[in-house]
Amino acid sequence: MVMATYRRLVWRHLPVMLAGVLAGYIVGCNKPAVRRTLSLQHIFASTGCTDTAAGEQTVAEQTVAEHAAAAASHPAENRAINAALVALVRNSDLFGLRKTIRQIEDRFNARHNYPYIFVNDVEFTDEFKHGVRDLTRAQVHFGTLDNDSWKVPEWIDPEQYALVKKTAQYPHGEKDSYRKMCRFQSGYLHHHPLLRNLDYYWRIEPDVEYYCDMGYDPFVFMKEHGIKYGWNIAMTEFMATVPTLWNTTVQFVSEHPEFIAHDSLWQWMVDEQGRYNGCHFWSNFEIVDLSFYRSKEYQMFFEHLDKAGGFFYERWGDAPVHSIAASLFLNASQVHYFSDIGYFHPSVLTCPSNARTRGSCVCDSSKSFVQNGLCTARFLQVKQAVISPNATAPAVSEPVYFAQPTIRTVHSYE
């Protein structure tokens, strides 16, 4: 049933995909990357990335085989990481969450026993707690949200907000709960008491699927390589939900240019004219060094966005907020594409194309179209231009097309 739904979604977007394929490498570019502390003019007026040509080795993400080999060289008892698998869920999500946990346990966590942390805006039922604990030997913690983190702030004008909800023409535009969820995931989840002592978290959701056995520990991999943010799917945002997010970001950066990382990925977020392109990492899958979200620059950025009111007057999502912050405040080497983790979130599938990695997966890579989407390809190009500016082999060797998100209905908060 899931794959039938997926096939229908692929057919729905097939004209867009074919148009992109016919257009060829629509994100290919031939302008030099800017590799220095960036002023507003540098960030938002510059465009392009380093030209590439065949003949030199490209900068590639590490393969799962290399990860596994590295893991094998470190005894498990020496790889303890203060990390957890975390989700914001409701009691009605029990069945979907059980499916997710079953797959995570089978693919990864049965060998590592990282704890699970679940938070809710109401108390969890005994049925929910038993239903989750029955699936894992790992510790499971349950918590609720405080009122301050799950409310419409007092600076939001009730009449203006009511009008926005009444007239919104985008997905979830009429919903309080969705906006509260996005605000909470953007600025409060990492401060919840149950997460306060964590160094890393892996965000999970109900009704998602993990297709590949993981022969290594992503938390260990991130720690050993100094990675702060890991992602798996990149798409463009519904631009009607974020009409002022970029300008609000520009305002913040103009006040705090010192926060921009020396080798940031800012060019990933703009088109050839320097305009915001809506590219963002889907935050339903993210593995994060929480020192990033707790950093001064991220916290001040969130507070600036929160005061601007866009979580409610518009419908800013936590995914573009996290993505903009990671692309501005982190160095390119600190942001990692977990291309070797097969993953499905309604209604998008990503499946490794590498033959060796694919052998440990149960997904069909021919049905996975996000790898060659504009946002993924642009990320790889910009990261290569920043880290290896002298590389001549293309970071992307397949035709690139525009991959647009569909309406997601998996989560009860939506």
Name the residues annotated as catalytic.
286
Instruction: Walk across the sheet containing 286-289 and list its strands.
Output: 140-144, 116-120, 83-88, 200-203, 286-289, 229-231, 335-337
Strand 140-144 to strand 229-231: parallel, antiparallel, or no bridges (unpaired)? Answer: unpaired
CB atoms within 10 A of CB 284: 23
Enumerate residues 6+ apart whose C-beta is below 8 A from 390: 56
CA–CA dist 290, 189 (Å, integer):
10
Instruction: Walk across the sheet containing 209-210 and list its strands.
Output: 209-210, 343-345, 348-350
Cα distances (Å, whole numbers) of residue 409 to 168, 257, 369:
17, 38, 20
The amino acid sitting at 279 is: C
> Bridge-partner residues for 335, per DSSP?
229
Give the distance between the most distant pair of CA atoms in the chain.
61
SS3 403: coil
Selection from 378, 318, 368 nearest residue 343 by Cα: 368
* Residue 125: DSSP 8-state: P
Angle between helices 318-329 and 296-308 (to 10 degrees): 140
Selection from 402, 404, 386, 396 nearest residue 46 by Cα: 386
- Do residues 150 and 180 touch, judged by C-beta distance below 8 A? yes
